Amino acid sequence: MGDDGVGKQQEAAKYEKKVMVLDFVTPTPLGNSWGLGGTCVNVGCIPKKLMHQAALLGQALQDSRKFGWQFTEEVKHNWMTMTESVQNYIGSLNWGYRVALREKKVTYENAYGEFVGPHTVKATNRRGVEKLYTAERFLIATGERPRYLGIPGDKEYCISSDDLFSLPYCPGKTLVVGASYVALECAGFLAGLGLDVTVMVRSILLRGFDQDIANKIGEYMEEHGINFIREFVPIKVEQIEEGTPGRLKVIAKSTKGNQIIEGEYNTVLLAIGRDSCTRKIGLDKVGVKINEKTGKIPVNDEEQTNVPYIYAVGDILQDKLELTPVAIQAGRLLVQRLYAGATRKCDYVNVPTTVFTPLEYGACGYSEETAVEKFGEENIEVYHSHFWPLEWTVPSRDNNKCYAKIICNIQDNERVIGFHVLGPNAGEVTQGFAAAIKCGLTKEQLDSTIGIHPVCAEIFTTLSVTKRSGENTLQAGC
């Protein structure tokens, strides 16, 4: 049960409904589990952003010398200090959720729930004690867990994001397997902490995201010392030496031929995707249909499954964005429709999000590829520019690596249908523009907006070069 499920239960309790939360974490192959709050709080957004911040602070220390800060002592990072601090904060959030549920008079059971019949679930706690509960309506918000490769040694010797943020030792030389945002974010902050990091990629980076931006992210990471092994997949992981960390041998095969390579690492982090937690919760007992290939649940535009009294939100939904705030919003609106007479439905298109790679990527709306597919290349105009944050000019680093792009629908008064920014504080920038996009922002309105000088976001008020023109987008001066 994640943020979305907890939030929905609290929302329902506001309307004086009798509400119960069933929450249970199946331990990882290495035995790790966590408290109330789901992936985001415990092994996702929260620890990821904090460790990303730790890496940014390392870069800030380097930059500071050019700004006049003098320090001669060796600067190094202590993994255990960081993880202990992060875990202490997460613990406070877990406790906060428990208190909030109690205050809202929501019954909380730390037990594994599964349907056993119409309107009936079985809850099994850690001691194996079973209880049956009945309810008028059910909300499934079980989320996803990291996928494993299904090769010799993967579950025995590899870790996932479910293990990384509480790892009781520095991971050392690390191989990150995967090209997802989870893979690139983790690789980014590990490298930012001074570790030797390699990313093994099967095909493209950040599938489902704007590929123009994805490739720029990869280039930036490579320029900053992260190694990429492209078009290879691991076929076996062997332990050379036990330890914290130990030593592992990874054997990988080319996706384009029969070439085999070997490499030695201290830690192997798998980030190759996530599987929906829907196959072992008794959905077949109540007739809820799932996509047999993906485990995802198809729902209508009101988050209702094919069984009328069962609803679902979050990462387990078919063809929906896998983002915590989306799930929270969908759950909240669902409860308001069910119990408060509201009619508003969740908007799954104009959703802002940020990938916290070393060069952060914020996006809202359509990627360039999706926009072309939906509206036709002749009906969209792409305005873009590189830019150089003022803060980076004094340390003289990464000139013209940041990038701004908007995608406009020519047939609809050049309405902005896609927003993309690659640069520092991308999430903060994107969140503000997302509200404008929800209000129907056009290119003309952007042009008539006065920029704040000197900040990164002002670039969006002066975009003039179209991609179609092929003109130079590199910036000079302030």
Active site residues: 453
* Neighbouring C-beta atoms of residue 297, cutoff 10 Å: 26
82/76 Cα distance (integer angstroms): 12
Residue 258 tokens read as: 């029969």
What one-character DSSP code corresponds to residue 127? T
Residue 145: phi, psi to the nearest 5?
-130, 155
Sign of the CA dihedral running 49, 175, 272, 422: positive
Omega prior to 454 cis, within 30 of 0: yes
Sign of the CA dihedral running 368, 143, 80, 243: negative
Residue 160, strand partner residues: 270
Omega prior to 168 cis, within 30 of 0: no
Query: Cα Rg for the chain, rounded, in angstroms?
Result: 24
DSSP assignment of 96-159 equals HHHHHHHHTT-EEE-EEEEEEETTEEEEEETT--EEEEE-S-EEE---EEE----STTHHHH-E
Q: Are 141 and 1 in contact (CB under 8 A)?
A: yes
449/296 Cα distance (integer angstroms): 42
460/446 Cα distance (integer angstroms): 7
* Neighbouring C-beta atoms of residue 393, cutoff 10 Å: 15
Residue 400 tokens read as: 């013209």
Q: Three-state DSSP class for 257? A: coil
* Neighbouring C-beta atoms of residue 402, cutoff 10 Å: 24
- Where does 159-266 show beta strands of DSSP type E? 159-160, 174-177, 197-201, 227-230, 232-241, 247-254, 260-265
166/214 Cα distance (integer angstroms): 28
What one-character DSSP code corresponds to residue 266? S
Residue 229, strand partner residues: 200
Q: Are 200 and 234 in contact (CB under 8 A)?
A: yes
